[in-house]
A and B are shown apart, each in its own frame.
Chain A
Amino acid sequence: MEAPPVTMMPVTGGTINMMEYLLQGSVLDHSLESLIHRLRGLCDNMEPETFLDHEMVFLLKGQQASPFVLRARRSMDRAGAPWHLRYLGQPEMGDKNRHALVRNCVDIATSENLTDFLMEMGFRMDHEFVAKGHLFRKGIMKIMVYKVFRILVPGNTDSTEALSLSYLVELSVVAPAGQDVVSDDMKNFAEQLKPLVHLEKIDPKRLM
């Protein structure tokens, strides 16, 4: 007895169910340059884009078992850029033919008083980190190569330390539900990055 997967749920409320297809991998620091060069060749021709973001993850603990998670992200190097609020659902597992991790995704841009708003709503911040890296794009695919920094003093984004000696590489596509052909394209692209990086679908529940 299983809930129907989100890809089959009807469109309600006037919005389309957007799904995020995700493949992840990592690359060691000393191989970062070769990866960046390869990505610059493979991806769309644009100026290399770097980003420095501060992400905070908020939880709302209801009476039910699992808390509701919202991710708030702000840019630390682009003044005036809006904050970004994102909801990511549980990844849909079970389909072995689908090469990418698929989960429901809702994204919106917000103003700067997002944290106050969430606190008033009853959310509490669970953890935060700083992400610094590069962004590439190929068609609808977005490739991010970034390093995760742990924040030592909560609220102070200047005192950070790197979490590991690797960069996280994420290949993601946000597309309407039901388009599984997207995952084939992602797999083909991931093949081109081997053997530098092995992009694969990693189930976060396995790592808990």
Chain B
Amino acid sequence: MRSCYLTGVCTPSPWLFSPPFYVSYLFIWVTNLFLLVQREEKQLEASLDALLSQVADLKNSLGSFICKLENEYGRLTWPSVLDSFALLSGQLNTLNKVLKHEKTPLFRNQVIIPLVLSPDRDEDLMRQTEGRVPVFSHEVVPDHLRTKPDPEVEEQEKQLTTDAARIGADAAQKQIQSLNKMCSNLLEKISKEERESESGGLRPNKQTFNPTDTNALVAAVAFGKGLSNWRPSGSSGPGQPGQPGAGTILAGTSGLQQVQMAGAPSQQQPMLSGVQMAQAGQPGKMPSGIKTNIKSASMHPYQRPSCPVFILAIPLRCKVKKLLGQEEKKNARLQL
């Protein structure tokens, strides 16, 4: 376009509308359209294939469910029926997802028109529908190519929509709220009933886990509660997980626990591998015997004569100290 810089007005030059240029424009536009149409066709085909496979899966699971209901009627259990329902619901979900996928074209825009109706058997059709539709005739077509519901159903639906529109938005909202409230009340009643019947001992074997055990195990793995090797042999038996520290506190030599001054004699137990005592929990209460233990145990291994392992350990020790320093800083700041 010849634009006039001076006046700022764009006036199309007569050259642009000359026949050769116009034809080339038209040509480009037509090719673009063609490519677009081709691409849409490919998309349509791909999405139809996906839909077909999903529907086939759904059909198979429905078929197997029906078989199960018919044949194993006597031995069927509720969980097994629930499993089948869950499978069907999952497949319907994936079907919905496929339909909603951005690459699927709007099927609403496609129209299926029967071109030829004949009362003769059609072998091709038989094969494709697995023997269900032998003839593409006047009785089959209205059912299979239906896009609107039955006239009676359509009437009912129209009736319902006019009723709904007549009520008005506020009243409709109130009705929705009351329905929700009734549903939640019902749910509460059911759960209360279930709980009461459980406590009545109707299902004695239902307990599959013990929260006290959970806490004991987590404590054992996290900081060694209950794993101390220096417990006097008779104090707590093997199958008692949930004593919240009654046995362990008496032994009390695990390094990460706070030392409770419950039983004085047990704390004088010799430390087999020099376990360090607990940290600044109760410094003032520690008896002197334990303090000397700390002093002896904190003697630096660097005082020992050189050994090859520790030479390699020097740079790593610095890194550990740095990490330790960082962690301490973090802890200190968190405690502020």
Contact = CB atoms under 8 A, between A and B. Distances in A.
A207 interface: yes
Among A26, A87, A153, chain B packs the most CB atoms within 10 A around the CB of A26
Contact of B323 (A68, A124, A125, A198): A68
A25 B221 contact: no
A190 B305 CA distance: 54
Interface stretch (A43-51, A113-121, A173-181): A113-121
Contacts of B206: 195
A57 interface: yes
B82 interface: no
A165 B239 contact: yes
Given A67-B276, A117-B313, A124-B274, A197 B218 contact: no
A90 B331 contact: yes
A152 B229 contact: yes
Interface stretch (B127-135, B144-152, B155-163, B255-263): B255-263
B196 interface: no
B172 to A, nearest CB: 34
Nearest to B207: A28
A11 B37 CA distance: 51
Interface stretch (A58-66, A75-83, A135-143): A58-66
A127 B276 CA distance: 12
Contacts of A153: 229
Contacts, number: 185
B320 A166 contact: no
Chain A interface residue bracket vs B: 35 or more
Given A28-B210, A121-B317, A59 B255 contact: yes
Interface residues of B, number: 63
Contacts of A195: 206, 208
A129 B336 contact: no
B56 interface: no
B245 to A, nearest CB: 9
Interface string B317-336: 10011011101111101101
A34 B258 CA distance: 39
A168 interface: yes
A116 B329 contact: no
A68 B324 contact: yes
Interface of B: 206-211, 213-229, 238-242, 254-258, 272-276, 279-280, 297-298, 300-301, 307, 309-310, 313, 316-317, 320-321, 323-325, 327-331, 333-334, 336
28 contacts: A1-B336, A3-B329, A3-B333, A26-B213, A27-B209, A31-B208, A57-B224, A59-B255, A59-B276, A61-B298, A62-B321, A65-B328, A66-B328, A67-B276, A87-B323, A120-B309, A121-B317, A127-B224, A148-B217, A148-B227, A152-B229, A162-B238, A165-B213, A166-B210, A168-B217, A197-B209, A198-B214, A208-B257
Q: Which 7 A-B pairs have the closest CB atoms?
A: A164-B241, A127-B224, A204-B222, A61-B276, A166-B213, A31-B208, A26-B214
